[in-house]
Amino acid sequence: MGYASGFRPGLFEGQTVFIPGGGGGLGRCIAHELASLGATVVLAGRTKEKLERVQAEIQEDGGTAVGCYAAELRDESDVISLVTRVLEEHGPVDGLVNAAGGQFPARLEDLSLNGWNAVLHNNLTSYFLTARELYRQCMHQRGGSIVNIGADYEGGMPGMGHNGAARAGLSNFTATAATEWARSGVRVNCVIPGFIATTGLDRYPEEDWEALVGIARRVPLARHGTAAEISAMVVFLLSEMAAYVTGADFRVDGGIHNGAGSFLFQPGEPRNSQTFNGFHRDEPPEILRR
């Protein structure tokens, strides 16, 4: 049994896609779907063991994952060297999925400058460096598609203001890069997931688990999303079908940004609900299995 993608087989045949953050969570799922559609995927991140695990999974499923590169994506010299090496060893890159990043809960009043900078570098600077360097070294000459994985920053992000600031910056970077690089044939878009059922939820403090489980009540579609539902949007944006799409944010969040109700409307029990999960190796978080 392999990835049950809704896209046509061979959609990315002959194309190479670079995925920083491909060792887990959304990046792992995206790497699997792209490989199942014929792409050659190149993985990068901080922990080589995680990357090698995903590479082995993809190869076991009959896909092609040709590289696992451990690098500090927040460091300019590391990123320059990384992109140079990827291009030298695997040839031109057609697509980039920026899926690395990380954050932690903290109120602004308790947040140190080091903590603030760490999350901005994780979730904004690393994306800029990887995209800029791939553009400079490859896409400026041959075009391509870049998809950034962001987060919903509108209305602020109380309890994680450092992450909200980074993600707002990422959205603006996406729009700016899309305009500056368009004449080179490079499209740049951003996918904004809602609350997705990945093992990343298990890393939150135990006192937050009840609230994370209860998020579904705030979602019009009344559930958490799946990694495959995010991956499907990424695949579309990377594909030839999105040739006229650039500089845009795409929410995949079950409608949570609108809220599930108001003082005039209270939702009933969900019915006719559908979920898409084509990822055959999906690993739901423990907190949603309870």
d(CA 185, CA 79): 23
Residue 227's SS3 state is helix
Among residues 15, 13, 183, which one has the least CA distance to residue 94?
15
Q: What is the mean pLDDT of the segment spanning 72-101?
A: 97
Question: Is the pLDDT score of 176 beyond 80?
Answer: yes
> Looking at 76-211, which runs of residues are DSSP E strands?
95-98, 144-149, 186-193
Kindly report which listed range (112-121, 187-196, 210-219, 223-232) carries the lowest average pLDDT score. Answer: 210-219
Enumerate residues 6+ apart whose C-beta is below 8 A from 165.
Answer: 120, 153
Question: Is the pLDDT score of 277 beyond 80?
Answer: yes
Kindly report which listed range (19-23, 135-139, 182-186, 282-286) carries the lowest average pLDDT score. Answer: 282-286
DSSP state, 256? G
**pLDDT at residue 219 in the model:** 94
**pLDDT at residue 179 in the model:** 98
Q: By the 8 A CB rule, do 115 and 106 touch? A: yes
**pLDDT at residue 205 in the model:** 84
**Confidence band (pLDDT; 50, 70, 90) for 99?**
very high
Kindly list the distances between the CA atom of residue 279 and the CA atoms of 37, 46, 153, 189, 229, in Å, as whole numbers in the listed order.
13, 24, 27, 23, 9
- The Cβ of residue 35 has, within 10 Å, a number of other Cβ atoms equal to 26
Tokens standing for 213? 């489980």
**Complete domains list, the chain, with CATH:** 16-254+280-288 (3.40.50.720)
Question: Is the pLDDT score of 200 beyond 90?
Answer: no
Q: By the 8 A CB rule, do 67 and 42 touch? A: yes
Question: Is the pLDDT score of 208 beyond 90?
Answer: no
Question: Of 143-147, 151-155, 285-289, where does the model show the most confidence?
Answer: 143-147
- In this structure, what is the dihedral angle of CA atoms 101, 86, 47, 232, given to the nearest 10 degrees? 50
69 beta partners? 44
**Confidence band (pLDDT; 50, 70, 90) for 17?**
very high
Question: Is the pLDDT score of 2 beyond 80?
Answer: yes
